[in-house]
C-alpha cells in the first residue's frame, strides 16, 4: 500500500499545478526524492498522506534513520517544490495585463491563459520571466 501511495505521490508531483528560477521541475523533484529517500519513506512514513508538507514532516521526524543521501538532499528538494509553486502563483500577478488585454482571459484561470500569453506578441519582460520561472516554457 505504501509503495502504491508513493507512486501516486510521484504522479501528483509531476502533474501540472497552480505554480524556475533556480528550481527543478516537479517531476525531477519527485524523482530525486524517490531516488535518495525512497527506502526511508517506505520504511518510516507508512500511512502518511503523501502530500509534500506531510511527507516533509515525516522525514524531518525520522532524521535519525535517514540515509546520508536523503539527509543531504530532502530539504533542498522540498524547497525547490515550494519555489516552483510560488512561481506559478506569481504568473497571475506578473501577467495580468497580458491575460486580460491580449488573451481576453481571467486571472482566476491563469493556467488556461498561459498558452495564449506564450504565443502573444508584446508580452512584458516581467511576465515572460514569471512564465519561465514557473516552468511553463
User: What are the residue ranges of helices labelled H in 15-124?
Assistant: 26-44, 52-61, 68-94, 96-97, 110-119
> Which domain, by its residues, includes 32?
2-133
The values of phi and psi at residue 121, to 5°, are -100, 150
Residues in contact with 29: Cβ distance below 8 Å, sequence separation at least 6, in sequence order: 13, 77, 78, 80, 81, 84
- 21 Rama class: left (phi>0) / alpha (psi -120 to 50) / beta: beta
Is 24 in contact with 76 (CB distance < 8 Å)?
Answer: no
Tell me the per-residue pLDDT of 27-50, one tens digit each, with 9 for 90 and over: 888 888 889 999 998 999 888 876
The span from the CA of 50 to the CA of 59, in Å, is 11
Residue among 126, 124, 104, 108 at smallest CA distance from 116: 104
pLDDT tens digit at each of 137 positions of the chain: 455 444 444 444 444 433 334 557 778 888 888 899 999 989 998 888 767 788 889 999 999 999 999 998 888 888 888 888 888 888 888 999 999 888 888 777 787 888 999 999 989 999 999 988 888 87
What's the domain count of the chain?
Answer: 1
Burial of 133 (0-12, 13-18, 19+ CB in 10 A): buried
Amino acid at each position: 500500500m505504501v509503495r502504491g501511495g508513493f507512486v501516486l505521490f510521484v504522479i501528483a508531483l509531476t502533474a501540472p499545478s497552480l505554480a524556475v528560477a533556480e528550481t527543478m521541475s516537479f517531476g525531477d523533484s519527485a524523482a530525486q526524492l524517490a531516488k535518495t529517500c525512497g527506502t526511508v519513506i517506505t520504511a518510516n512514513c507508512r500511512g502518511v498522506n503523501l502530500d509534500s508538507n506531510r511527507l516533509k514532516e515525516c522525514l524531518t521526524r525520522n532524521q535519525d534513520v535517514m540515509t546520508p543521501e536523503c539527509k543531504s538532499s530532502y530539504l533542498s528538494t522540498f524547497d525547490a517544490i515550494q519555489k516552483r509553486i510560488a512561481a506559478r502563483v506569481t504568473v497571475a500577478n506578473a501577467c495580468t495585463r497580458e491575460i486580460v488585454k491580449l488573451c481576453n482571459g481571467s486571472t482566476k484561470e491563469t493556467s488556461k491563459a498561459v498558452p495564449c500569453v506564450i504565443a502573444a506578441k508584446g508580452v512584458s519582460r516581467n511576465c515572460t520571466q514569471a512564465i519561465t520561472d514557473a516552468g511553463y516554457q
